[in-house]
Every structure is written in structure tokens, then in C-alpha cells.
Structure 1
Amino acid sequence: MASVTATATITPTLLYQKTQTPSIQLQSAPCSRFPHFSAQSQSISAARSSRSPIVPRAASFDTANIADALAEVSIFTASGQAVLFRDLLGQNEEIAVVSLLRHFGCPCCWELASALKEAKAKFDSANVKLIAIGVGGPEKAQILAERLPFPMDCLYADPERKAYDVLGLYYGFGRTFFNPASAKVLSRFESLKEAVKNYTIDATPDERSGVLQQGGMFVFKGNKLIYAHKDEGTGDHAPLDEIFDICCRVPVT
């Protein structure tokens, strides 16, 4: 694993180093892990193909042992069954993408869930497990699953925000309503409008403090964390093309 000198400019939300290079359009090229995914028209960093995983100094959790810290965290399936986090992660070095939504009544999270649903076939074809977790009880998860709709078998509820706390995800009034990172939602207005056609505020968690929770996106290979993105504000989701790219580049063992 490449080492890096810790400075104040290191982005705390990613385990992949980003360099200041101009964004370019990649030529269409097949991806060995995602055979139907083309890089064409995906604007990504020119340095992405050569960067290596690093652990940022500013991370608010121990990345080397985060899977161990999460192992005994108990959450619920959308049907209401308790499950330990360790049982969700892929075994034998399998890759798992874990998306922590804000809460089931957040319109931006309906948009993200819709995007994840559309991407699930690509994940499945590459044997990458998709796990979506939201704040609220299982009955709230069922509302999203039925009305969006979203597959129940990969949807989980964390009403007490246990996994969010372990991962150190952002929380608070300012992050939820006034963070500049939320402005990027404006560029996704059409997809947001489409995602909330069947939206209902009834999916909002009964414990209203849960609406101030921010989410994040994590990629595990077995019990090893290889990518982390913490949403800076509402709607600041990790770009799925970046998640695809990372999963493509993880060596198969």
C-alpha cells in the first residue's frame, strides 16, 4: 500500500488519493469486472487508473480495523429480522458495496436508492454484493421498498444509527440544511423528480432526530475497507462511476 505524507489537504472521506489533474473524457473500454459498463462519457480524473489505496490521517475511524468494529453491530432486514453487520459482508475476499442512506424519508435518498437499483444488475454480474442501509425502523424501509420500488433482499434498517456512529458519519442541523456540498443536488433535479414520484413523508423515522444524519458509501473486500466516502451534506453522494471503477480495479483472489 502506498504511503502518503499527511497534510491538511488530504481529503478525509476517501481511501484513494486524488491528484489535481484536469477531468478528461475516457475512450470506451471494456471493464473486466463489469463487462457491460463502458467508461465512455464518464468524466473522471486522469490519475484514477494509477492511484493506490491510502489511509488518510484525518479519518475519524481506524480503517484497518473498521470491519471488526462493525462486526457486532446489529441492524434489521427490511422484513424486521435482526442481523449482525459481519454477516452482511462478503466472505472469502468477496467485494461488498455498502451504501448508508440518510433516512428513509429523505427525497435525496430515494434518488440514491433509485440509482442503486438501476446499477444492481452491474453489481450482480460482477459478483459484487450491494447493501443499502437507512435510518428508521423496518416498517419505514418497507415503505421505500414498496413505493420506489427497491429490492427488499439488499435493504436494511438501522433505527438507532449504530453503524453510522461506528463509521463516524456526519450529523447535525448545519450539515443537513446548510452545507455547500448539497448544492450539487440541483444538477440532478430531473433524476430526483423521477425518483420521488411515489414518495411519502410517512417513510420518515419516528425518532425525528434521525433526519439530521448524513450517509456515506463504503467498499469492502472481505473484512478489509478499501474505499470510504462520507457525505458532507444532504445529497452529497459518492459518484457511482467511481464505485464501479474501484470495484473493477480490485484484484480477484
Structure 2
Amino acid sequence: MAECITRSATDPPSPDDLRDAYELELRSPNGNPVRLGELICEKGDNITTIIVFIRHFFCVYDQDYVRTISHHLTDSLLKSLPSTSSTGPSQLIIIGCGDPALITPYVSETSTPFPVYSDPRGRIYEKLHMTRTMSNVMKQPSYSTVGFWRALGKTFRQMAASGWRGLRGGGWGQNGGEWVFKGGKCVYVHRMKDVGDHLTAGELLEVLGCGAGDDTAKEEMREEVERRLD
């Protein structure tokens, strides 16, 4: 198992950009507004929050990704990760960029137990400087079970089954990434460089292990990573 992953090369947001992003609103599955900062800062100072920003709701690569992290990073696992006196349990939240009415079908498609919200105007994605590119769209990511042509066919079938909302899944070129917050502060940033550049479940667990405390706690984390990924 590799050593603990260090901070990504992508730059963290400026304090002003992060503060502005916290004030921007997401939409819940029923369309109700909720501030990003409410999800991150108002759950307790010792809570670690992992936010996975996904691509459009019909991206089959990302649907496979959400299935993978939902299988490996279970809620019970996140709540039982080694912690210190200043680092409590972890929560994982998924944020998309399409019509919030598509959240419920997305949850059904991916069987994810994690809460899903949407930024339909992409304002948070923009404020946090996430990339827009279709680079490597034909390259199958390691976490996907299908290649490009099968994924594209499945995407079009899902869009057709969604009626007019099939055109409101989110920008096809919008990429996301993985962000970790502790005590309301951003401590880790990974912005996707291309269509298939999410962190794997194992990499996410190792990122969380960077703050696990002493060597014993970190060794427990590595053992947990290996056990979950066997």
C-alpha cells in the first residue's frame, strides 16, 4: 500500500472564493434550497466532510464511480475511521450539476446511500474553479465497467427515458472532483483534469488517513483500506 497521499497539485480556493461558495445554494431532491456552507460548517467542528462533485447526471462513467465509492466507503466505515480529539466521524456528500428533479432517478440508478444535491446553474463548480473539458472521454476509467461506446449508448437511453429533462442533466464538459473539509476548512482538493479523473475509493480512504493522527492510527487506516478493497 502506498504512503499517505499528499495534497493534490491543484490549488485550493482562495479564502474569499471559499467564503463566497459557502453562501451559494444547492438544491435538494425536492427542490428546496440549502447553502453549501450549511452542509459543511454546521454539522460540528470535528466533522470531516468529503464532497464528491460529479459530472452530468447521465454520465455512465460517473454512475459507475458512485456505485464503487458507495460500496467501499460505506456510512458505517466513514463513521468508524480512526480519529483524533479534533477529528470526528466523516460524512460523504455527492453534488451534481443538473436538474434537481433528476436526483431521485440518479439515486435509484446508482443505489447510493449518500445524500445527493445539485448545483443546477453550476455556480459552485465555477467558483471553486473546476474544469470544463471532454479530454479523454473515449478512455475507459479504471472505476467504470463499460467502454465509451456502451457508455454513450446507455447515456442516450437514459436521456430518452427522462423526457424533456434528459436535456437538463448538466453540462457535458463539466468535470468535478473530490474535496475534504475539516472544521469548515478545506484541507484537500482534487479537481478532475479530464472525464475519467476521479480519485478511486482507495485513494479517498488514504486521503482521509492523512489526518488520522499517530502512526498506529495511520496503520489502522491502511489495514482498513486493504480490507475494504480486497
TM over 0.5: yes
Corresponding position of 1:117: 70
Counterpart residue type for residue 13 of structure 2? F
Corresponding position of 2:95: 133
Aligned length: 194
Identity %: 19
Normalised by the length of structure 1, the TM-score is 0.66
Q: Secondary structure at the match of 1:243?
A: helix
Corresponding position of 1:59: 11
Structure 1 Cα separation of the partners of residues 197 and 6 of structure 2: 23
Any residues of structure 2 matched to 1:195-210 within 5 Å, and which?
A: 200-201=158-159, 202=161, 206-207=167-168, 210=171
Corresponding position of 1:15: none
Any residues of structure 2 matched to 1:40-55 within 5 Å, and which?
A: 44=2, 48-49=3-4, 53=7
Alignment of 1:183 onto 2:134: no
8 A contact 2:97–2:170 mirrored in 1: no
User: Could you tell me how far 1:188 is from its partner in structure 2?
Assistant: 4.1
Q: Name the CA shift for 1:79/1:115 in 2 (closer, same or farther; >3 Å).
A: farther
CA RMSD of aligned residues (A): 3.0
Question: Could you list the per-position Cα deviations for residues 188-226 of structure 1 after superposition, in whole angstroms to 9, with x for gaps in the alignment?
Answer: 4537889x79x7225676347712211111011122111
Q: Name the CA shift for 1:238/1:205 in 2 (closer, same or farther; >3 Å).
A: farther
8 A contact 1:136–1:206 mirrored in 2: no
Poorly superposed stretches of 4+, deviation over 6 Å: 191-194
Alignment of 1:100 onto 2:58: no
Q: Secondary structure at the match of 1:103?
A: coil
Corresponding position of 1:38: none
Q: Secondary structure at the match of 1:83?
A: strand
Question: Could you list the per-position Cα deviations for residues 130-163 of structure 1 after superposition, in whole angstroms to 9, with x for gaps in the alignment?
Answer: 0100111121111111232223x61111110111
Return the structure number with greater helix share: 2
8 A contact 2:179–2:190 mirrored in 1: yes
Q: Name the CA shift for 1:236/1:85 in 2 (closer, same or farther; >3 Å).
A: same
Give unpaired runs (5+ residues) of structure 1: 1-25, 27-43
Q: Name the CA shift for 1:147/1:247 in 2 (closer, same or farther; >3 Å).
A: same
User: Could you tell me how far 1:182 is from its partner in structure 2?
Assistant: 6.3
Identify the match of residue 73 of structure 1 among 14, 17, 24.
24
8 A contact 2:99–2:168 mirrored in 1: no
Give unpaired runs (5+ residues) of structure 2: 82-88, 214-230
